[in-house]
Amino acid sequence: MQTNEVQRSWALLPGFLTVADGRPLDLLELGPSAGLNLMWDRYAYRYSTGTWGSGPLELTGEDRVPPPAELLARHVTVSRRRGVDLNPVDVTTPHGARLLQAFVWADQTQRLERLRRAIEVAREDPPELMRGDYVELLPALLRDRREETQLVVFQTASTMYLDRGAPARMRAALHEAARAGPLVYLTTGRAPDDDGFALELERYPDGRRSRLGVFDFHGEWLDWGR
């Protein structure tokens, strides 16, 4: 359920802007649960260097090292948003919405209000959520590509729960899919000092990897470029 922490989109946004190449984005999230972070382009963002986007939910935090203003000047469009999860949550139903809210501690009123607004955004035009093992389904999902779009695969806080050999199988699928056209993979892992998540970018077909920044596990602070 932790992948529903929509505050993480505040840390992910500069990553999406970094990879944007002018084409509409074809998003595929691995382990999205309810898919609230698949809706990242429908939120408003505030950093000390500028703002981005608009929407009923504004996300901000402690940008210890903020993204540069020129990065926040980029505009992107999303062509499609898909996610695959062992147990996706449908927030268009009363049960699904109540389930997500039940995982927020009662005294975290700001977090609960943020979640409720994100649920409202998702209900207006829900993402496509599929049930299944994303390691197994990834090759077929990667073959289903839209022409003249940029395929962006991403995940937060889900690969750490996979079996030992699963990440290698995933990267093999990414390499294979890139034979039909380049793609990018945004992923998080523990920072070396165990202080937050490291946001990493992998570009395929060559698999080049670079670190974009480090952020709090729940997206409360961001060190961009660290």
44, β-bridge pairs: 58
pLDDT at residue 84, rounded to an integer:
97
Taking the C-alpha atoms of residue 109 and residue 105, their distance in angstroms, rounded to an integer, is 8
Tell which residue, 216, 213, 210, 211, has the closest CA to residue 224.
213
pLDDT greater than 80 at residue 89: yes
pLDDT at residue 106, rounded to an integer:
86
| 130-162 per-position pLDDT tens digit | 999 999 999 999 999 999 999 999 999 899 889
What would the two tokens of residue 206 be?
């060559």
pLDDT greater than 60 at residue 76: yes
Taking the C-alpha atoms of residue 143 and residue 194, their distance in angstroms, rounded to an integer, is 35
219 alpha-carbon distance from chain centroid: 12
pLDDT tier at 2, thresholds 50, 70, 90: low
pTM here is 0.95
User: Phi/psi of residue 204, each to 5°?
Assistant: -120, 140
pLDDT tier at 102, thresholds 50, 70, 90: very high
pLDDT greater than 80 at residue 189: yes
Orientation of helix 134-143 relative to helix 166-177, angle to 10°? 0
The SS3 call for residue 95 is helix
pLDDT at residue 161, rounded to an integer:
87
Alpha helix segments (H runs only) across 38-146? 69-72, 94-102, 109-124, 134-143
* Average pLDDT of every residue of the chain: 95
Pick the CATH number of 2-224 from 3.40.5, 2.40.50, 1.10.760, 3.40.50: 3.40.50
Mean pLDDT score, 196-206? 96
What would the two tokens of residue 60 be?
């901000």
pLDDT tier at 3, thresholds 50, 70, 90: low
